[in-house]
Chain A
Amino acid sequence: MSKEPVAVVGVGQTKHVAARRDVSIAGLVREAARRALEDAELTWSDVDAVVIGKAPDFFEGVMMPELYLADALGAVGKPMLRVHTAGSVGGSTALVATNLVAGRVHGTVLTLAYEKQSESNAMWGLSLPIPFQQPLLAGAGGFFAPHVRAYMRRTGAPDTVGSLVAYKDRRNALKNPYAHLHEHDITLEKVQASPMLWDPIRYSETCPSSDGACAMILTDRAGAARSPRPPAWLHGGAMRSEPTLFAGKDCVSPRAGKDCAADVYRQAGIADPRRDIDAVEMYVPFSWYEPMWLENLGFADEGEGWKLTESGVTELDGDLPVNMSGGVLSTNPIGASGMIRFAEAALQVRGQAGEHQVEGARRVLGHAYGGGSQFFSMWLVGSEPPSS
């Protein structure tokens, strides 16, 4: 028994901003879903099922919002699943939707992820106290900063590398009309002069809080044949989880991330990711995670990731472009951020990425992570259908 091949035939995003006061949560998600349907030239009635994801319900203060959103997403009378795997949720949601097509349960599935952070305060949403458990130390930055410091000590990376990533991603964002931060006057000096928030992470090396949604239409081989624009084909997808905190955990390069990537590469027949993959959309909420994930995902040997970044390999015109869209550093509607990575990977292999298109991108990796670097979801999409 072989799986049904899965194709992405529609991608839709909202323009991500700090606060979308002009729309409700329902209005926000519907905007992204409609754009994905328009891209696929399909209507609501062509959708067999809806799979929706977002990060904690506390971020907007709505419990199990899929119930309220059923109408806005044309899900009435259809199956609707709600995924929640912390920060990796956008990617996991797409993979759950993928399984519905791959397992031949449904032909065409709408998958969507969102966050409307302006409805509430994500910092407080993450800081609800509970006895006998480690608090997240005033937001995610406090949790991740020591791991960045550990990476710098372990590899001897000069402390300038993080600012290079932020400068690159913010410039890439200028080419992406949907990106939240459009800092037209950005300079490397400005990044380096920005205030230190959680040493060694500076203000300009952190992600913004965004309102936004991202949607994709996934379909089977027959659906792909009807697609008006080139589909992106799924070549491999996987999720891996490991415990939050334990003595054996490598917080700099978690094993769950390595295992997840290895599974995706095995499925996709990738022998050497550095050679066989053309570009990467990776989940980089703090700039230093680019060199860290380059190693974790097998694009660089241990201790060598920062050298790729420093030498310009990950620039938009480099040999291995990373975060062509501007990445999480430029746009962070938390629950949607993972799906945006997956969707941007699909846009690249479809040749639909506009000004931030990488010429000839044939195989692109989308990557997401969440929790205390413990949940990982990734997919690899290609311009050609999978051979097996």
Chain B
Amino acid sequence: MRPTRDVAVVAFGQTDHRRTSDELSEVEMLMPVLHEVLDRTGLKTSDIDFTCSGSTDYLAGRAFSFTMALDGVGAWPPISESHVEMDGAWALYEAWTKLLTGDADTALVYAYGKSSPGSVRDVLTRQLDPYYVAPLWPDSVALAALQARALIDAGDTDEPALAAVASRSRTSAAANPHAQLRGSVDQGDYVVRPLRTGDCPPVGDGAAAVILAAGERARELCERPAWIRGIDHRIEAHSLGVRDLTDSPSTRLAAERAGAFERPVDTAELHAPFTSQEVVLRKSLRLADDVDVNPSGGALAANPVMVAGLVRVGEAAARIHRGTSDRALAHATSGPCLQQNLVAVLEGDPR
């Protein structure tokens, strides 16, 4: 579908993602990032027409955890605001649709997540079917390992190829000051066969924020706006037994609807927390070999839960802002084994 209005990412900020941030509350972790994107555009909270955030109560360990972040935003006088209990990439999607209606010209989008207080592998099991699957506590690494095994059995990849994905990602991350794992990382022992430590994302805390603006407003706020040419997301069945884990039809459909296949992209920021998931996504997105995949290091270098998807959109946009990309694809995922996927296509003005 053709958007009814031109909307762009005009600013992006993120924390340095870290294994623990004991000394900071979620709000304290988020605040510098909010100020960073506001400062970059010169906007004040009261200039923002719509605000939307992504987070989950299950990481905070309490109900309504997002209300505290709102206090930090400074919602006075009252603001037009919403929240998705999803990765911030979906908060960005909600903000994008709000801008399409014409009711808002600017939007602030933010996401935060602290995985360090608990065991995120165990916490994520609470996402599963509560009657039949969750009581068995199959953790996120075990489920990803099922997917990796299916890929190897299908001949789509092998363990050395997965190790190469890990190595390439973390080598790229060496140039990313925000990344948690940077440079050479040992592939390590098996966590759950066939996945080794190196195939898995780091567990960490982080936050990110983005400012969106429509039309001329975007050009006022940013020298080279990252125009959202299309954005779409799709969900698949929940039960792993009815899905082909070697494929991601939802990613393919979202990409098609976002216009990703109309012209080649030069950059792809993929939200693939496990090396094996990059294999699936590359195939679904038909990425050519010359596409720069995860120049930031991707989720293998930093995977703050609920934030990593928004960071992909932000990293893709930032490359357009800097002039190192003209047409970039950003991807976010949610749920076990890539159940739900979002694809955005971003472009800079021709130079």
Q: Please report A residues at the B interface, Cβ cutoff 8 Å.
A: 1-3, 24-25, 55-71, 75-86, 92, 95-96, 99-100, 102-105, 119, 125-126, 128-130, 133, 238-246, 248, 254-256, 259-260, 371-372, 374-375
Interface string of B301-343 (1 = CB under 8 A from A): 0000000000000000000000000000000001110011000
Tell me if B71 is interfacial: C-beta within 8 Å of chain A.
Answer: yes
Q: Which of B63, B233, B250, B340 has the most CB of A within 10 A?
A: B63
Q: Which residues of A contact B97 (CB under 8 A)?
A: 96, 99-100, 103, 105
Give Cα A50 to B128, complex, Å: 19
Q: Which residues of B contact A248 (CB under 8 A)?
A: 76
Of A1, A78, A86, A92, the contact of B67 (CB 8 Å cutoff) = A86
Contact call B82/A96, Cβ cutoff below 8 A: yes
Q: Which residues of B contact A67 (CB under 8 A)?
A: 127-128, 235, 238, 334-336, 339-340
Contact call A244/B71, Cβ cutoff below 8 A: yes
Interchain nearest-CB distance for B235 vs A (Å): 4
Q: Which residues of A contact B5 (CB under 8 A)?
A: 1
- Please name 19 pairs of A and B residues whose Cβ atoms are closer than 8 Å in the assembled complex, sorted by A: A24-B131, A55-B63, A68-B130, A70-B235, A70-B237, A77-B236, A78-B234, A80-B340, A82-B85, A82-B86, A130-B60, A238-B80, A242-B79, A243-B76, A244-B70, A254-B78, A255-B78, A371-B64, A372-B67
Contacts A61-B130, A103-B4, A104-B4 given; indicate if A81 touches B84 (C-beta within 8 A). yes
Contact call A1/B235, Cβ cutoff below 8 A: no
CB contact list, B51-104 vs A, under 8 A? 51, 56-58, 60-64, 66-68, 70-71, 74-86, 90, 93-94, 97-103
Known: A126-B64, A244-B68. 7 other contacts (CB 8 A): A62-B130, A64-B334, A82-B84, A82-B90, A84-B83, A125-B63, A130-B61
Interchain nearest-CB distance for A5 vs B (Å): 12
Contact call A239/B81, Cβ cutoff below 8 A: yes
Contacts A63-B126, A64-B86, A67-B127 given; indicate if A242 touches B75 (C-beta within 8 A). yes
Q: Which residues of B contact A128 (CB under 8 A)?
A: 61-63
Contact call A77/B63, Cβ cutoff below 8 A: no
Q: Which residues of B contact A103 (CB under 8 A)?
A: 4, 97-101
Give Cα A65 to B126, complex, Å: 9
Contact call A57/B56, Cβ cutoff below 8 A: yes
Q: Which residues of A contact B77 (CB under 8 A)?
A: 242, 255, 259
Of A3, A56, A92, A371, the contact of B101 (CB 8 Å cutoff) = A3
Q: Which of A84, A130, A242, A245 has the most CB of B within 10 A?
A: A84
* Nearest CB in chain A to that of B81: its residue: A241
Contact call B123/A63, Cβ cutoff below 8 A: yes
Q: Please report B residues at the A interface, Cβ cutoff 8 Å.
A: 1, 4-5, 51, 56-58, 60-64, 66-68, 70-71, 74-86, 90, 93-94, 97-103, 123-124, 126-131, 134, 232-239, 249-250, 253, 334-336, 339-340
Q: Which residues of A contact B60 (CB under 8 A)?
A: 130
Give Cα A244 to B72, complex, Å: 11
Main secondary structure of the interface of A (DSSP, over half): loop
Q: Which of A238, A254, A256 has the most CB of B within 10 A?
A: A256
Give Cα A209 to B300, complex, Å: 43
Q: Which residues of B contact A64 (CB under 8 A)?
A: 56, 58, 85-86, 127, 334-335
Of A2, A130, A241, the contact of B78 (CB 8 Å cutoff) = A241
Interchain nearest-CB distance for A101 vs B (Å): 9
Q: Which residues of A contact B57 (CB under 8 A)?
A: 56-58, 84
Contact call A79/B64, Cβ cutoff below 8 A: no
Contacts A57-B56, A70-B235, A81-B84 given; indicate if A371 touches B67 (C-beta within 8 A). yes
Give Cα A3 to B97, complex, Å: 11
Give Cα A244 to B239, complex, Å: 39
Contacts A56-B57, A125-B63 given; indicate if A85 touches B83 (C-beta within 8 A). yes
Q: Which residues of B contact A239 (CB under 8 A)?
A: 80-82
Give Cα A119 to B130, complex, Å: 10
Q: Which residues of A contact B239 (CB under 8 A)?
A: 71
Give Cα A99 to B93, complex, Å: 11
Interchain nearest-CB distance for B119 vs A (Å): 13
Contact call A92/B82, Cβ cutoff below 8 A: yes
Give Cα A333 to B99, complex, Å: 31
Contacts A57-B56, A68-B238, A81-B94 given; indicate if A246 touches B63 (C-beta within 8 A). no
* Nearest CB in chain B to that of A248: its residue: B76
Interchain nearest-CB distance for B194 vs A (Å): 25
Contacts A64-B56, A68-B238, A105-B100 given; indicate if A84 touches B233 (C-beta within 8 A). no
* Nearest CB in chain A to that of B215: its residue: A1
* Nearest CB in chain B to that of A71: its residue: B237
Of A96, A126, A256, the contact of B94 (CB 8 Å cutoff) = A96
Contact call A243/B70, Cβ cutoff below 8 A: yes
Contact call A99/B101, Cβ cutoff below 8 A: yes
Give Cα A248 to B76, complex, Å: 9
Give Cα A65 to B128, complex, Å: 8
Interchain nearest-CB distance for A64 vs B (Å): 5
Give Cα A308 to B83, complex, Å: 35
Q: Which residues of A contact B340 (CB under 8 A)?
A: 67, 70, 80
Give Cα A293 to B12, complex, Å: 39
* Nearest CB in chain A to that of B238: its residue: A68
Q: Which residues of B contact A83 (CB under 8 A)?
A: 82-85, 94
* Nearest CB in chain B to that of A372: its residue: B67
Give Cα A129 to B61, complex, Å: 9
Contacts A103-B4, A244-B67, A371-B67 given; indicate if A130 touches B100 (C-beta within 8 A). no
Give Cα A63 to B58, complex, Å: 6
Q: Which of A61, A81, A133 has the most CB of B within 10 A?
A: A81
Contacts A61-B130, A240-B80 given; indicate if A76 touches B101 (C-beta within 8 A). no
Q: Which residues of B contact A104 (CB under 8 A)?
A: 1, 4, 100
Contact call B85/A70, Cβ cutoff below 8 A: no
Contact call B249/A77, Cβ cutoff below 8 A: yes
* Nearest CB in chain A to that of B239: its residue: A71
Give Cα A75 to B101, complex, Å: 24
Contacts A77-B234, A105-B1, A256-B78 given; indicate if A243 touches B83 (C-beta within 8 A). no
Contact call B90/A76, Cβ cutoff below 8 A: no
